[in-house]
Structure 1
């Protein structure tokens, strides 16, 4: 993962303040994948309460260093909207599907430490039927093989046809079929870094968030269970 740290004194102070505020909101999550070949039951999404807490403005300002500001604001708004379901709020992932698949467009933001990183991620073949490398459309429909937009809750780990994988629960009307469609996080050869110099783009998934084969453990370790992945176009 290509990682960098917000180094200016001003940003360091902002991140420190955000970390203190968010520490009270973050709860412990389950350990990463332990290698079980028996999937657990799907994650249950609790109802969202009223008056959900908001992330500090300092977190928003600092994260702009990595992510398009408009997309970041939408992601944080979704985090507030779904705060009853998303218990761990110290880290979030944002997929900027405005960028082509040749760009590292899966952004990881750790508000507590002030670190950000990003890596390559594939989109669905139904979202890019001509295989241009750009996502053309979203879909929540069964059989579409397309990527969906909206807020996802990271669920449990299992071993399936793509090997180690993590379930995702769609929290919005635009992605609420994700669990039934088996839209998950998994690794794939067609999402490896060497696809870019060879082909200028990644291969396509069936709507899943496919990452490089040597990146999957990094993704699982960062997100764990109970955190948000927000996917959209800026």
Structure 2
């Protein structure tokens, strides 16, 4: 059985064939000195820019962090997964963030065929409808593992109205032949899933070990 948790199969020593950075969380920009909207002739205050670990859309990171903060029942709060579906499937776009250090690993992940009917490699839209074979956006919590069509896989609970059919639709984390690196080498993009988070075999193992045990995944497209 796969042993999940912060100390399991990787702990805090994160290595990957995917893109990896090890930078602390960015610091917000300072406020403008001497600005006071109540005094005439003073410049307006400059609001701090959103901060995020390197390589992650700051606005998307803030949404993911807010989703975690709003759910105190999620007890495992060391790692968080962020899927940026504003990026094409040929590029790494699934970020696994170690929140205490800001260290990031990034992997390629497939999206659903219903979200990309022309198979452009870019997600066009989300759907939570059963039978849509589309990707759903929102917050997820990882659940049990099981052996299925693609071997060892991990279930996820959809926590928002935009993805609350995840269990009924059998949306899971699994590996797939169409998510292997040679697909990008041949076609410039990954194949499509039926709405699941599909990774290469090597990357799926790393993602499940970091995010298993009831951790949060946040998926969205802001661009």
Q: Do these two structures clear the TM 0.5 threshold for a shared fold by scoring above it?
A: yes
Structure 2: any 5+ residue segments left out of the alignment? 1-17, 28-49
Paired residues of 1:124 and 1:146 also in contact (CA < 8 A)? yes
- After superposing the two structures, state which structure 1 stretch, 177-186 or 192-201, moved more: 192-201
Question: Which residue is 1:175 aligned to?
Answer: 163
Between the aligned partners of 2:118 and 2:94, the Cα distance in structure 1 is: 22
2:94 pairs with 1:94 = no
- After superposing the two structures, state which structure 1 stretch, 97-106 or 216-225, moved more: 216-225
Question: Which residue is 1:73 aligned to?
Answer: 62
Between the aligned partners of 1:165 and 1:137, the Cα distance in structure 2 is: 25
- For the structure 1 residues 78 and 13, does the alpha-carbon distance in structure 2 shift closer, same or farther, using more than 3 Å as the test? closer
Paired residues of 2:83 and 2:95 also in contact (CA < 8 A)? yes
**Structure 1 moving runs of 4+ over 3 Å:** 11-14
Between the aligned partners of 1:115 and 1:81, the Cα distance in structure 2 is: 23
Structure 1: any 5+ residue segments left out of the alignment? 15-59
Structure 2 SS opposite 1:168: strand
| CA deviation profile, 1:38-89 (whole Å, cap 9, x unmatched) | xxxxxxxxxxxxxxxxxxxxxx73x3312101111111111122222x1111
Which has the higher Rg, Structure 1 or Structure 2?
2
- After superposing the two structures, state which structure 1 stretch, 218-227 or 139-148, moved more: 218-227
Q: How does 1:119-198 map to 2 (within 5 A)?
A: 119-198=107-186
Between the aligned partners of 1:113 and 1:221, the Cα distance in structure 2 is: 18
Between the aligned partners of 1:190 and 1:141, the Cα distance in structure 2 is: 23
Question: Which residue is 1:4 aligned to?
Answer: 21
Between the aligned partners of 1:75 and 1:121, the Cα distance in structure 2 is: 18
TM-score, normalised to structure 2's length?
Answer: 0.78
TM-score, normalised to structure 1's length?
Answer: 0.75
Deviation at 1:12, TM superposition (A): 7.9
- After superposing the two structures, state which structure 1 stretch, 134-143 or 104-113, moved more: 104-113
Between the aligned partners of 1:149 and 1:166, the Cα distance in structure 2 is: 18
> Higher helix fraction: Structure 1 or Structure 2?
1
Paired residues of 1:82 and 1:171 also in contact (CA < 8 A)? no
- For the structure 1 residues 65 and 157, does the alpha-carbon distance in structure 2 shift closer, same or farther, using more than 3 Å as the test? same
Number of residue pairs aligned between Structure 1 and Structure 2: 183
| CA deviation profile, 1:97-135 (whole Å, cap 9, x unmatched) | 000001100001002233111010000000000000000
